Amino acid sequence: MQASQTTSTTPPGPTDARRRPASDGHIEAINQVFALFRLNYHNQYYAAYPDAEQLKQIKKLWLESLADYPVEQILRGARHAIENSEYLPTLHRMLECCQESIASLGLPDAYSAYREACDAQSPRSAQPWSHPAVYLAGRDSDWFFLANNPERSTWPVFRKHYQAWCTRALRGEALAVPQEPALEQHAAEPLSTEQQLAALARLRRETQL
């Protein structure tokens, strides 16, 4: 069976300038992904990656392209690819699988979530969020900070918090937007006749009527 091509145009997303440095967890995740592909697409895998140095460069490309996704989402995307295709995934397909793997949870991609958080109006807890993780990441990033600083400063901060909340959602935690505390209502007590007369006299003095 012929292996699919290993290079492809990637879907729209954050530019290279906004990509984050790879963490040790992401490096390990990419190694796990390729190990899964080797086991499940044995012949295709060795046909596509016959050279160790070439494989090293391809892993580096995948690592850079997938750095904006939580580790759990990358692994979930790999399993989604394996379960839904008999062909070795391209990088383009892997990016799609990472999104498809969380579609049922309603989680938007990181940059769409960032734009949603930046554009939200007050009171933010009352807005129709695409997912609670977006609100929670915005809150943890600090709304004032997001609104008053350039993207080059705010995007990495938001992305870090959003990945953390996505990880919790992917692990099965139910997230929710906290409700704003309602203002306590106190029923006004009626004034006595003496209090009403005193208030009226004070009002006349103040207005010189």
Please say if the pLDDT value at position 46 is more than 90.
yes
Comparing 204 with 54, which gets the higher pLDDT?
54
Q: Which are the contacts of 70, defined by CB distance < 8 A and separation ≥ 6?
A: 163, 164, 166, 167, 170
What's the pLDDT at 3? 42
What's the pLDDT at 6? 43
Mean pLDDT along residues 167-196: 73
Q: How confident is the model at residue 181 (pLDDT cuts 50, 70, 90)?
A: low
What's the pLDDT at 2? 41
Structural domains of the chain, with CATH: 22-102 (1.10.8), 108-169 (no CATH)
Long-range own/partner contacts, residues 105-112 (CB < 8 A, 24 or more apart): 105/131, 105/169, 105/170, 106/130, 106/131, 107/131, 107/133, 107/166, 107/169, 108/134, 109/13, 109/68, 110/14, 110/68, 110/69, 110/159, 110/162, 110/163, 110/166, 111/13, 111/14, 111/18, 111/68, 111/155
Nearest CA among 106, 2, 108, 87 for reference residue 41: 87
Half-sphere exposure of 205 (CA within 13 A, CB side): 6
What's the pLDDT at 192? 77
- pLDDT tens digits for 119-155? 999 999 999 999 999 999 999 999 999 999 999 999 9
What's the pLDDT at 99? 84
The helix-helix angle for 52-65 and 91-103 (nearest 10°) equals 40
Q: pTM of whole model > 0.85?
A: no
What's the pLDDT at 69? 86
